[in-house]
């Protein structure tokens, strides 16, 4: 029997991401995502249902999310559903919750301080939405508990070709066509 565990969410961060490092120095970031669902009741009344979802990411993805995301930022998250269980220390009972582990993401809503255009982030070659529509990353946030890593830089662009100046003069006979 085949199995498939994929979830795609678009929502707003409910709190700033919390970056931690595992003993193996693997970065892990945790944050909350609020996802709205609008619907109409049988009487025609419009209602808004809000889901609050715990989200986590690992490695480079975690560091990028921590650096560029803040509370209220809109984000598209693609990942898998995870089920955690533990013993409650106070009551001694079993507790459980579902959360999402991020595989890919995209920044939504444009850059901070820029007019809201509703554009989506553009994926880099590895499928992670690190780069914004304007080609510039939003202002970085400092990482907690570790010195800031090397800033994300846009790739260098080649210099435009210069038009022919006075140093090169062509005669009509020099042109081959």
Q: Classify each residue of 59-93 as buried b or exposed e, where b means 16 or more C-beta atoms within 10 Å of its C-beta.
A: eebbbbbbbbbeeebbbbbbbeeeeeeeeeeeeee
Residue 30 within a domain: yes
What pLDDT was estimated at residue 175? 60
Say if CB 105 and CB 75 are below 8 A apart: yes
What pLDDT was estimated at residue 144? 52
* Number of domains into which the chain is organized: 1
C-alpha to C-alpha distance for 149 and 64, rounded to whole angstroms: 10
Say if CB 47 and CB 56 are below 8 A apart: no
Q: What is the pTM of this model?
A: 0.60
Euclidean distance between the first and the last CA atom of the chain, given in angstroms as a whole number: 68
What pLDDT was estimated at residue 90? 83
CATH number at residue 170: 2.40.50.140
What pLDDT was estimated at residue 41? 92
Residue 1 within a domain: no
What pLDDT was estimated at residue 1? 81
Pick left, alpha or beta for residue 15 (phi over 0 → left; psi -120 to 50 → alpha; otherwise beta): beta
C-alpha to C-alpha distance for 111 and 90, rounded to whole angstroms: 44
What pLDDT was estimated at residue 22? 93
Residue 34 within a domain: yes
C-alpha to C-alpha distance for 20 and 143, rounded to whole angstroms: 9
Residue 91 within a domain: yes
Task: Give, for all 177 residues of the chain, the pLDDT tens digit.
Answer: 899 999 999 999 999 999 999 999 999 999 999 999 999 999 999 999 999 999 999 999 999 999 999 999 999 999 999 999 988 888 778 989 999 999 999 999 876 655 443 333 333 333 344 433 333 444 555 555 554 444 444 455 555 554 544 445 556 666 665
DSSP string, 81-132: EEEEEEE-TTT--EEEEEEEEEEEEEEBS--TTS----PBPBP-TTS-B-B-
Range of the domain at 60: 7-174
Tokens of 82: 């995870």
Neighbours of 166 (CB within 10 A): 5
């Amino acid at each position: 029997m085949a199995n498939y565990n994929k979830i795609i969410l678009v929502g707003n961060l409910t709190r700033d991401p919390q970056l931690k490092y595992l003993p193996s120095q693997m970065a892990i970031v945790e944050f909350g995502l609020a996802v709205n669902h609008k619907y109409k009741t049988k009487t025609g009344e419009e209602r808004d249902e809000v889901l609050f979802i715990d989200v986590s990411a690992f490695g480079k993805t975690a560091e990028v999310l921590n650096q560029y995301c803040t509370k209220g930022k809109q984000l598209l998250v693609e990942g898998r559903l995870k089920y955690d269980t533990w013993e409650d220390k106070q009551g001694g009972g079993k507790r459980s919750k579902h959360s999402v582990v991020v595989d890919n993401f995209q920044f939504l809503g444009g850059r901070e301080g820029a007019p809201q255009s509703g554009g989506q982030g553009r994926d880099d070659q590895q499928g992670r939405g690190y780069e914004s529509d304007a080609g510039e990353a939003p202002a970085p946030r400092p990482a907690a508990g570790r010195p800031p890593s090397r800033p994300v830089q846009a790739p260098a662009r080649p210099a435009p070709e210069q038009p022919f100046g006075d140093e090169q003069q062509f005669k009509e006979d020099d042109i081959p066509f």
